Chains A and B, each alone.
Chain A
């Protein structure tokens, strides 16, 4: 057993924190309000190795394992969840940065029609809630038991931008495939959602951690009834519950990452989202009227956390998978 991150992962987390404080946190509110991330940010992320987390170092990547990768995503989410989601989705494919310029997007089609015609595959379907459908150069299109890496610029593919409750700076929206023809080599051998689930859990933990620290700082200075509100038990208990939940969620997420286990990842993603939603709502409450305004980040974090919950829970039919797995085995 070892609950410590390896040295190189900690160093990368520190540099992510530095990047976050300098280049992300000051702009997160305006990116949320303008529904966009600046192109320059991608350059910064690339330079830090964040767009090739799982790629080996000799191929230009950061060479992280799954746990370290989750820790980095969590760190990023403390500054901006939309950025963390963008990075997490891009890293679903471990592409060497020298061989691949653009971003990787992701979409799940409810009823993907796959027709195999010799060396060509014809895809028809609708990904109602894709990530990076407009900005990515390659999209991982997931169907029932199959997945394909499809160039975004291909004929027959179209997409839109949705207005969302949370993660507003991330490019989110529907993606349609109409008679899209790809070579057989576009089919991916692995279609595991585990990495994405782990990342979602890590993002929720990151959002929650940011919200807890901000609410704590506020509670220590906000005076009502002649003393800091941090002195009141009603406020203290919120922090105790939040901190406990975040620790538990992080352990679930990291365990799932270490084992590369989809069921464990589902548990982690569900728990992390629940903890973050509840905790971010408490963080809003602790801020009182200020918490409801967009001048403070806690309302954005609540929306972002809520987004994680819906994304994880519904898209991946999380609890049903969990229920089926508990029926099959529990250890």
Chain B
């Protein structure tokens, strides 16, 4: 057993910590207030090598692996969870194209996702009536002589206002449920691709989340990712990796809130010596450590090429819930001060809440987990 990251992974983690400290931290509070897409942070992310952490060097990435990716996301989220979600989705899109694209698609798109040419990539799966159940989607693509015409509406699309490339899932046959779904790569400037107004959210205000309409969008045959009608498994595999990202993000927010509380307690001896405070910090430390190990277990399995769907689900559900609990304890340590924006803990509480919802709610993770457990549990798993 070895719980230490490699030197290379550590190096990426440190680069992320520097970028988080120098670029993200100074603007996080302002971004939360004013909202909108974090243009400057994203531009600097390319320089810092945060756009393609687990992407081959040959395609412009850092080739540092899933463990490095997880460590980096946790560092970023401690400073600015909103920018982190835009970066995490970009990494996910770059990985999807790397894993499922043909040689032309890879060389066309992945370098532009890694060097900032596309600003960011975006992942368009959910629809108004298809959230936890993506098999219920209605957006369609129909074949024409020149390729495909895509029509339909997506919802909750991170960075849709500014993305240079979308990977979008639509129906390409009348087969029900998850069958008959294909994935397409669509540039943000393609005529007919129309993002809606950014949603006003509880938190993550420094990232944009919008509806995304595809109005008779014409794309060539080269837009189809992998095989026709085989797109659903691409989404599921992308989300497996995405859940490592969300878990890592939640962990970072929970750590940041706990650190705010810890510092405040240390500055106020009456708090530091109170068991009510001590126990809260002890519980948060325990649960965040457990979350970290669960996330790293999933990331390590992915790095080793071992099946990691189950581990990613466990890590995501556990980390998001425990990080939410940790932000609440942090507020409680701060007491009435926690009710105000005079510390960052208030933002952390609002930001972390969505990690229990996006990329599969806690309920969906449990459905998936229970299904697996019913088949097998224990060493045989």
Contact = CB atoms under 8 A, between A and B. Distances in A.
Given A293-B200, A294-B200, A306-B331, A311 B358 contact: no
Contacts of B356: 285
A239 interface: no
A292 B339 contact: no
B132 interface: yes
A307 B350 CA distance: 13
B133 A225 contact: yes
A288 B200 contact: no
Of the listed residues B155, B276, B336, B341, the one surrounded by the most CB atoms of chain A closer than 10 A to its CB is B336
A234 B366 contact: yes
Interface in A134-153: none
Nearest to B274: A320
A31 to B, nearest CB: 14
Of the listed residues A289, A303, A306, A315, the one surrounded by the most CB atoms of chain B closer than 10 A to its CB is A289
Contacts of B201: 292-294, 299
Contact of B202 (A167, A235, A294): A294
Nearest to A232: B363
Contacts of B363: 232, 234-235, 285
B228 interface: no
Interface in A205-251: 223-226, 232, 234-235
Nearest to A238: B363
Contacts of B367: 234
A113 interface: no
Interface residues of B, number: 40
B336 A315 contact: yes
A311 B339 contact: yes
A128 B133 contact: no
B189 interface: no
Contacts of A302: 202, 353
Given A224-B132, A319-B276, A313 B358 contact: no
Contacts of A36: none
A203 interface: no
A281 interface: yes
B69 interface: no
Nearest to A108: B336
A310 interface: yes
Interface string A164-183: 11110000100000000000
Contacts of A314: 332, 335-336, 338
A282 to B, nearest CB: 10
B161 interface: no
B131 interface: yes
Contacts of B339: 129, 162, 164-167, 172, 306-307, 310-311
A224 B331 contact: no
A224 B337 contact: no
A224 B136 contact: yes
Contact of B156 (A128, A166, A289, A310): A289
A295 B155 CA distance: 14
Contact of A310 (B126, B133, B331): B331
A35 to B, nearest CB: 11
Given A223-B129, A289-B126, A310-B331, A295 B200 contact: yes
Of the listed residues B126, B155, B332, the one surrounded by the most CB atoms of chain A closer than 10 A to its CB is B332
B202 A224 contact: no
A289 B335 contact: no
B131 A288 contact: yes
A288 B332 contact: no
Given A129-B339, A289-B131, A306 B353 contact: no
A302 B352 CA distance: 13
A292 B341 contact: no
21 contacts: A129-B336, A162-B339, A162-B340, A225-B136, A234-B366, A235-B363, A281-B353, A284-B202, A288-B357, A289-B126, A289-B155, A293-B200, A293-B202, A294-B199, A295-B200, A302-B202, A302-B353, A303-B350, A306-B349, A311-B339, A314-B338
